[in-house]
């Protein structure tokens, strides 16, 4: 039998309150929560620091960056996976859905070349226990790409797949409704001349007309039939949201307007926004600010997206007076809410019987600092 672990003199962030007290863990599971401190030689004294549930991340591109740290540099896959995991774990993320692009929108991109090596690295690392955090797969399906259905079909049976999102980055709609933002973004990303950019737009619009709606319907049908959680992406209008709800989406990733967030909430889609949007004070694409949605109680989940350390920082920013979340509500956005959205009922909060995925967090001014991380009761940071 394993010994009990005792965490005491902590400000324990429960789902609905902050309790100054003690949490007991046995065999990787929370077995007791009580007010007050315990004197015990093996107890970990938090000295008033916060005890917070491990963060649950549903959408991060961070693995891609480690697989290809420079445009023409491919890194050894297992090493890249471990480096990515170290960064994720040190950010307090104990469960992560690594976002893998299924389909892409430009031939200069190397994302498709990295797809199979990334999935193989994730499979290998999970099988052999090489990671500190638990890694799952989020398949990001670019529905306007000719090869999307084939690539999706080949990979959706992977045991680690837990989330599928449907994206359409065709110019002139959704994330890039403002065409000038689209041109600036992709010219910079791919180094396109004006003529190349014009040809690129024409090709994307043609692909969208041919593939987008068919692939959207086919992928959604497959996911509904196989009970795979789906997320919409960049919904902008009431009609977008209505379609997403009809297709069975449970999460609204990065709605671009207040209108879309309102209708997503009314239809019981959990609204997911980027933590970098909160930290930076706005969207890098010129869309709605996540803080604006939070102030209207239209924000349910935060994702670190491209910057893992933003997740815990954004949660504490939500508690600032101008936004007004209390700490339990803010922490739910990075733990309980995302876990429940993807049907992970065994984690995401400090409660009896839940996994002991836990963080010790102190504050330096307004900056949260992660001091320690436990995954299923095992200290990993």
pLDDT at 114: 78
Among 155, 153, 150, 152, CA closest to 141: 152
pLDDT at 1: 43
Distance between CA 9 and CA 264 in Å, rounded?
Answer: 40
- Cα 185 to Cα 169, 275, 280, 315: the distances in Å are 12, 20, 18, 28
Distance between CA 324 and CA 296 in Å, rounded?
Answer: 10
Question: pTM above 0.75?
Answer: yes
Pairing of strands 270-274, 367-375: unpaired
pLDDT at 123: 96
| Phi, psi (deg, nearest 5) at residue 55 | -80, 145
- Tell whether domain 1-53+349-381 is in CATH 2.30.40.10: yes
- Which residues of the chain are in CATH 2.30.40.10 domains? 1-53+349-381
What is 55-346's CATH topology? TIM Barrel (3.20.20)
pLDDT at 346: 98
The answer to whether residues 139 and 156 touch, using CB atoms and an 8 Å cutoff, is yes
pLDDT in tens, the chain (381 residues): 467 999 999 999 999 999 999 999 999 999 999 999 999 999 999 999 999 999 999 999 999 899 988 877 889 999 999 999 999 999 999 999 999 988 765 555 556 677 889 999 999 999 999 999 999 999 999 998 888 999 999 999 999 999 999 998 666 555 565 666 666 666 666 666 777 777 777 777 777 788 888 999 999 999 999 999 999 999 999 999 999 999 999 999 999 999 999 999 999 999 999 999 999 987 766 689 999 999 999 999 999 999 999 999 999 999 999 999 999 999 999 999 999 999 999 999 999 999 999 999 999 999 999 999 999 999 999
- Residues sharing a CB contact under 8 Å with residue 173, sequence separation 6 or more, in sequence order: 236
Pairing of strands 251-253, 230-233: parallel
pLDDT at 197: 72
Among 70, 75, 67, 128, CA closest to 98: 67
pLDDT at 305: 93
Residues recorded for the chain: 381
- Which residues of the chain are in CATH 3.20.20.140 domains? 55-346
Sequence-ordered alpha helix ranges (H) in 3-147: 62-67, 77-90, 111-127
Positive or negative, the CA dihedral 104, 231, 75, 147 is negative
pLDDT at 182: 65
Sequence-ordered alpha helix ranges (H) in the chain: 62-67, 77-90, 111-127, 148-155, 179-190, 194-207, 213-225, 238-247, 258-266, 275-280, 290-295, 310-317, 327-332, 336-341
Positive or negative, the CA dihedral 283, 287, 292, 297 is negative
Alpha carbon 158 to chain centroid distance?
19
């Amino acid at each position: 039998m394993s010994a009990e672990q005792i965490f005491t003199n902590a400000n324990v962030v429960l789902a609905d309150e902050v309790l100054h007290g003690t949490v007991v863990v046995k065999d990787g599971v929370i077995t007791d929560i009580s007010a007050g401190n315990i004197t015990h030689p093996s107890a970990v004294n938090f000295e008033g620091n916060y005890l917070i549930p491990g963060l649950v991340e549903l959408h991060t591109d961070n693995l891609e960056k480690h697989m290809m740290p420079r445009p023409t540099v491919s890194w050894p896959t297992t090493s890249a996976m471990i480096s990515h995991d170290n960064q994720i774990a040190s950010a307090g993320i104990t469960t992560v859905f690594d976002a893998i692009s299924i389909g892409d929108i430009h031939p200069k991109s190397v994302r498709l070349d990295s797809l199979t090596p990334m999935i193989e690295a994730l499979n290998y690392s999970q099988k052999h226990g090489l990671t500190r955090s638990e890694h799952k797969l989020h398949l990001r399906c670019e529905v306007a790409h000719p090869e999307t259905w084939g690539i999706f079909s080949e990979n959706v049976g992977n045991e680690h797949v837990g989330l599928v999102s449907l994206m359409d980055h065709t110019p002139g709609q959704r994330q890039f409704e403002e065409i000038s933002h689209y041109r600036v973004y992709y010219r910079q990303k791919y180094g396109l001349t004006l003529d190349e950019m014009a040809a690129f737009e024409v090709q994307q619009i043609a692909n969208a007309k041919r593939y987008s709606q068919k692939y959207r319907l086919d992928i959604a049908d497959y996911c509904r039939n196989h009970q795979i959680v789906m997320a919409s992406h960049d919904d902008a209008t009431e009609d977008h949201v209505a379609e997403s709800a009809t297709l069975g989406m449970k999460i609204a990733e990065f709605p671009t307007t207040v209108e879309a967030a309102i209708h997503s909430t009314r239809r019981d889609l959990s609204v997911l926004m980027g933590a970098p949007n909160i930290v930076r004070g706005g969207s890098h694409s010129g869309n709605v600010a996540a803080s604006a949605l939070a102030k209207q109680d239209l924000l349910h989940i935060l994702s670190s997206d491209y910057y893992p350390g933003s997740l815990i920082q954004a949660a504490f920013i939500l508690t600032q007076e101008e936004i007004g979340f209390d700490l339990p509500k803010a922490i739910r956005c990075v733990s309980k809410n995302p876990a429940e959205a993807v049907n992970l009922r065994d984690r995401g909060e400090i409660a009896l019987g839940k996994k002991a995925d836990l963080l010790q967090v102190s504050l330096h001014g307004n900056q949260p600092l992660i001091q320690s991380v436990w995954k299923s009761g095992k200290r990993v940071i």
